[in-house]
A and B are shown apart, each in its own frame.
Chain A
């Protein structure tokens, strides 16, 4: 099973709302990622969790707040977003190997976020 499950599939939120995106995997992967993807562009890395600890934050604005409650779950808390934050938000996971050679990342189907 190489499935990464993201909920919800679609989300419309106002600029004053607080919402959360959820991601779950049961492959035993210890690296989990959040990516943002705009139309006709490649995914852009936002955050990486390694062994449930935040290891990479790509200078993402504080209105995006990641959380990794356990090795299977990853959340992205959203607050006071802007219309330009509308995008496809992708979660991914990969196995961690020795010497940092992580295996391929498996992606979820994404959450289509629209900020109005």
Chain B
């Protein structure tokens, strides 16, 4: 069974204090790993797709990396507007290409 575990559950940072969120996964053949950001009461907003170990993607203060067992979302010099829940999801080869398995998310709070 595909499993996705995100840590920490919650993270409080001061503005400018860089940190990383972790997404550990167990799947029998990874098609793709996805990062989303979700604000309260809103739908998830797509951030990145990673397909193979060693791949990295960047967008503004965010950088996502992928190994064979986990993915990290690095946040450099965060701002209060980066506060949100960050969700990781995986898509496996053995299941339908349309099915995503989500982690429980990391709730990030950035204080000014």
Q: Does the CB pair B105–A42 fall under 8 Å?
A: yes
Q: Does the CB pair A103–B41 fall under 8 Å?
A: no
Is the contact region of chain B dominated by helix, strand, or loop, or is it mixed? loop
Contact with A along B48-92 (1 / 0, CB 8 A): 010000000000000000000000000000000000000101010
Q: Does the CB pair B43–A90 fall under 8 Å?
A: yes
Does A83 make an interface contact (CB < 8 A)? no
Q: Does the CB pair A48–B99 fall under 8 Å?
A: yes
Q: Does the CB pair B103–A110 fall under 8 Å?
A: no
Q: Does the CB pair B46–A106 fall under 8 Å?
A: yes
Give Cα distance in the complex from A50 to B78, angstroms.
39
Interface residues on B, range: 20 to 34
Q: Does the CB pair A43–B34 fall under 8 Å?
A: no
A91-106 residues with Cβ-Cβ distance < 8 A to B are 92, 94, 96-97, 99-106
Does B27 make an interface contact (CB < 8 A)? no
Q: Does the CB pair A102–B97 fall under 8 Å?
A: yes
The 8 Å CB contact of A42, one of B46, B97, B103, is B103
- Contacts A100-B31, A101-B32 given; does A2 touch B46 at CB 8 Å: yes
Does A116 make an interface contact (CB < 8 A)? no
- Contacts A33-B98, A94-B98, A105-B46 given; does A112 touch B103 at CB 8 Å: no
Q: Does the CB pair A109–B97 fall under 8 Å?
A: no
A32-90 residues with Cβ-Cβ distance < 8 A to B are 33, 41-43, 45, 48, 50, 55-56, 88, 90
Give Cα distance in the complex from A108 to B91, angstroms.
20
Q: Does the CB pair A56–B44 fall under 8 Å?
A: no
Give Cα distance in the complex from A56 to B96, angstroms.
9
Residues from chain B with a CB closer than 8 A to the CB of A48 are 96, 98-99
CB distance from A50 to the nearest CB of B (A): 6
Residues from chain B with a CB closer than 8 A to the CB of A4 are 43
CB distance from A84 to the nearest CB of B (A): 19
Offer 9 A-B interface pairs, CB within 8 angstroms, sorted by A. A2-B46, A4-B43, A33-B98, A42-B104, A55-B98, A99-B97, A103-B49, A105-B34, A106-B46
Q: Which residues of A contact B (CB under 8 A)?
A: 2, 4, 6, 31, 33, 41-43, 45, 48, 50, 55-56, 88, 90, 92, 94, 96-97, 99-110, 112
